[in-house]
Homo-oligomer: A and B are copies of this chain.
Amino acid sequence: MFEFELIKESKECKARLGKIKTTHGEIETPIFMPVGTRATVKTMTPEELKELEAQIILSNTYHLYLKPGMEIIEKAGGLHKFMNWDKPILTDSGGFQVFSLSNNRKISEEGVEFRSHIDGSKKFLSPEISVDIQNTLGSDIMMCFDECAPYPSSYEYILNSMNRTTRWARRCKDHHKNVDNQALFGIIQGGMYKDLREISAKDLVALDFPGYAVGGLSVGEPLELMNEILDFTTDFMPKNKPRYLMGVGSPDYLFEAVERGIDMADCVLPTRIARNGTVITSKGKLVIKNAKYKDDFTPIDDECDCYTCKNYSRAYIRHLFNVDEILALRLATIHNLHFLINLMKKIRESIKNDTFMEFKDDFYNKYGYNKIRREF
């Protein structure tokens, strides 16, 4: 089962309110999806994610394919049971990771041969294998095997890559077995070239996927360029299907994406920077492990009502980072995930009330507009 209901379109911009129904529950959009690369959102239990009102998490085909391997996930009865998470899961295709292994992979029409980053052993991923893996994982939303091309790339490179991604998308669709319970999304590529984005979008829309992602953005290009390409691309995406911008997770990028009609986004950013001692607050980012917080007994963010901010001071969290305690990573992760999940909740509320643009301006003014660009 997979349905998308478009509840409302903003009067101010292309922002939308929607609801996705999956076998494992409903998802209100726009949404930020925490990343659980290796069958766990780093430092968190499933119950804690639910307390934060995480509606869906993302997990990674490449990593799970290597460890623990599909034999174990299959015996466990799928990824949900294996990791004790009964809400929706989205899995990527593994494409992003294997294409990142630039010195250790060989691309052909058939797929990508690569060496495992763990033990150097030879492996192979193709559209069919990626779909098989995701069928075994049992994710509610699967992604087509694609190439997320680097930035900058030549027109010719992107043209070839994009067309192959489209051919691979067709193979993914043809190979996908569990269509009733797992929705396979197509991924629009085309780099920073509008004509290629248009072709990619139209070709994939013709294949009639239940949802579409915009890939190949937020890969190092300026925010203005991302905004321009995204704005252009979403106009070619069906209104009655969910739209997912891959790899975006800082507050400003989320605002810009939603404004341009995006319903879903994911990124390791909030959890990764948390473990490095950086927290997101309504007044900008804050490096909590810095010595200047050693006797600051206020919470990370005095406007925040997360578990961390309700119970712990900056001084205590700074101490925990200073002595390498695991609780530091947990408290910072809880705060950052809460910040983004709660931000998306407020964004949904503002779309409902047609106050999204005002909410965005207010947020930027407080957060610090100049500080906001590519700050992480």
Taking Cβ atoms with an 8 Å cutoff, the residues of A that contact B are 38-40, 42-46, 63, 67-68, 71-72, 75-76, 82-84, 294-295, 297, 311-313, 315-316, 319-320, 322-323, 325-327, 329-330
Q: What is the bound-complex CA distance between A80 and B67, given in angstroms?
A: 41
Residue among B76, B294, B316 making CB contact with A315, cutoff 8 Å: B76
Cβ-defined contact, A295 with B72, below 8 A: yes
For A38, the chain B residues whose CB sits under 8 A away are 319-320, 323, 325
4 other contacts beyond A84-B312, A326-B330, with CB at 8 A cut-off? A38-B323, A42-B326, A71-B295, A84-B311
Q: What is the bound-complex CA distance between A323 and B72, given in angstroms?
A: 15
For A44, the chain B residues whose CB sits under 8 A away are 327
Instruction: State the copy count for this chain.
Output: 2
Residue among B45, B68, B294 making CB contact with A68, cutoff 8 Å: B294
Which of A75, A320, A326 counts the most B-chain CB atoms under 10 A from its CB?
A326
Q: What is the bound-complex CA distance between A329 and B72, given in angstroms?
A: 21
For A46, the chain B residues whose CB sits under 8 A away are 311
Q: What is the bound-complex CA distance between A43 and B44, given in angstroms?
A: 11
Q: What is the bound-complex CA distance between A329 and B44, given in angstroms?
A: 11
For A315, the chain B residues whose CB sits under 8 A away are 68, 72, 75-76, 82
For A76, the chain B residues whose CB sits under 8 A away are 297, 313, 315-316
Cβ-defined contact, B319 with A75, below 8 A: no
Taking CB as reference atom, which chain B residue is nearest A46?
A: B311
Residue among B75, B84, B313, B329 making CB contact with A295, cutoff 8 Å: B75
Cβ-defined contact, A322 with B67, below 8 A: yes
Q: What is the bound-complex CA distance between A44 and B43, given in angstroms?
A: 11
Q: Can you list 7 A-B pairs with a CB-CB distance of less than 8 A?
A: A38-B320, A43-B330, A45-B327, A45-B330, A68-B319, A72-B295, A72-B319
Using A297-B76, A316-B82 as known contacts, say yes or no to A68 and B327 having CB atoms under 8 A apart: no
For A67, the chain B residues whose CB sits under 8 A away are 319, 322-323
Which of A42, A297, A327, A329 counts the most B-chain CB atoms under 10 A from its CB?
A327
A334–chain B nearest beta-carbon distance, Å: 10
For A42, the chain B residues whose CB sits under 8 A away are 325-327
Cβ-defined contact, A316 with B83, below 8 A: yes
Using A84-B312, A311-B84, A316-B84 as known contacts, say yes or no to A40 and B72 having CB atoms under 8 A apart: no
